[in-house]
Amino acid sequence: MNENELNLKDKLRDFYEHKKKETFLIGGSILLILSILLVSIVKINSKEVLAFAKSRNAALEGETITSMVYSGAEEMQKGPSKTYGKVVYLTIDDGPSEYTDEIIKILNKNNVKATFFMINGNMQAYPEQVKNIVKNGNTAGFHSVSHDIHKLYVSKTSAKEEFDTNQATFKKITGQTSKVIRLPFGSKPYTPRASYNALVDSGYKLWDWTLDTEDWRSTSSQIMENVKKYSSGSDNVVLLMHERKQTVEILDEMIKYLKSEGFEILPIKQSDEARNYWNGKLFSEEN
């Protein structure tokens, strides 16, 4: 091999060595740039995750596990609904009875609550049903001891004394109290002013009704017709029922109908203002 060939070989070797270094430098630069980008993306995502976590923690601050579960259950129970600011209070008289538990099952199935106006002797006969009413979130109210207008009003305080007896029985069974009451046959025309005043002065909240289903003398189909007829055109209804077999049979259909007509179905709360024929709150605009 002559001198020229050796020089050419050296030059070729130098050329390839230079290209290898150049390729290495370019590849390394690309890897470095990709690494920087990856780290930046991770940092950004970490900041976003941290910000989201802080925001969520702030939103949940002060909430207990119980309240979170309750809120979630409420959301699940809402479901699709069609409401127009219309309210109906389902009120059920003369219990508890052999039908109470079945009524509660139907209420629970439809995610609604009612108000039970109970007679003293029936509370004593069905204490577990009284507990079941309260346990399932319904409102317990009272409906006298005698259910007899001739005994209720023998004196100015005799009606109030009957409801005091209801109160004592209810507290013995449940450990709780209630001030929500309904007079047998309504507060008018039978209740004297003095008897009404004695009840109000003792803190009792008297509720009458706006829609009588007449279920005590009607078939299930007649009950349904009464509900449709007398709830039409109303925005606020206090609906009167009784613990009867025919009422139980139509209750599920009744609730579904009221919901389809845009009514929100509510129980009477202890904090609600009394609504009766004496104070005129049954038909006032604020209702």
Check whether domain 83-266 has CATH 3.20.20.370, yes or no: yes
In this predicted structure, what is the pLDDT of residue 27? 56
Reading the block at residue 121, the tokens are 């002797």
Which pLDDT does position 282 carry in this prediction? 87
Neighbours of 92 (CB within 10 A): 29
The predicted structure's pLDDT at residue 69: 32
Q: What is the pTM of this model?
A: 0.71
Query: What are the sequence ranges of the domains in the chain?
Result: 1-76, 83-266
Distances (CA, A) of 30 to 36, 42, 160, 183, 240: 10, 18, 91, 88, 81
| Chunked mean pLDDT (size 10), the chain, 287 residues | 52 55 56 55 42 38 34 36 77 98 98 98 98 98 97 98 98 98 96 98 98 96 97 95 98 98 97 96 61
Q: State residue 33's pLDDT score.
A: 58
What tens digit of pLDDT does each residue of 179-220 get?
999 999 999 999 999 999 999 999 999 999 999 999 999 999
Residue 165 has what DSSP assignment? H
Give CA–CA dist 287/282, Å, rounded.
7
β-bridge mates for residue 115, sequence order: 91, 139
The one-letter code for the residue type at 189 is: P
Q: How many residues in total does the chain contain?
A: 287
